[in-house]
Structure 1
Amino acid sequence: MGLRRKSRELALQFLYGHDVQEGSCGEEELLSRVNEFCISFQADAKSIPYAEQLIAGICQHRKEIDSLLSRSSHNWRVERMAAVDRNILRIAAYEMQYGEDVPSTVAINEALEIAKRYAEPDSVGFINGILDGLKGKD
Structure 2
Amino acid sequence: MSRRKAREMALQTLFQMDYNEDITTEPALEMVFSEYEVVADKDKVYAKHLIAGAKNSLAEIDAIIAKAAYDWKIERMPGVDRNIVRLAIYELNFSTEPVPPGVVINEAVELAKEYGTEDSARFVNGILGALVKNKEVP
Which category describes the TM-score, using the shorter chain as reference length? 0.7 to 0.9
Residue in 1 aligned with 2:61?
65
Q: TM-score, normalised by structure 1?
A: 0.86
Q: TM-score, normalised by structure 2?
A: 0.86
What is the CA-CA distance between 1:90 and the residue it aligns to? Answer: 0.5
Q: Conserved in 2, the CA contact under 8 Å of 1:112 and 1:127?
A: yes
The runs of at least 4 consecutive aligned structure 1 residues that moved more than 3 Å come to: none
Q: Deviations over 1:3-56 (max 9, x none)?
A: 0000000001111111011257xxxx53x3255324533461332110000000
Query: Which runs of 5 or more residues in structure 1 are unaligned?
Result: none
1:36 and 1:114 map into 2 onto residues whose CA distance is 20
1:70 and 1:107 map into 2 onto residues whose CA distance is 19
1:18 and 1:115 map into 2 onto residues whose CA distance is 18
Count the aligned residue pairs.
132
Out of 107, 111, 133, the position equivalent to 2:108 is 111
Residue in 2 aligned with 1:10?
9
Q: What is the percent sequence identity of the aligned residues?
A: 42
Q: Conserved in 2, the CA contact under 8 Å of 1:96 and 1:107?
A: yes
Residue in 2 aligned with 1:134?
131
Alignment of structure 1 residues 1-138 onto 2, 5 Å: 3-23=2-22, 29-30=24-25, 32-42=26-36, 44-46=39-41, 47-99=43-95, 100-135=97-132, 136=134, 137-138=136-137
Query: Which runs of 5 or more residues in structure 2 are unaligned?
Result: none
Q: Conserved in 1, the CA contact under 8 Å of 2:9 and 2:33?
A: no
Secondary structure in 2 matching 1:120: coil
What is the CA-CA distance between 1:68 and the residue it aligns to? Answer: 0.3
Q: Conserved in 2, the CA contact under 8 Å of 1:34 and 1:52?
A: no
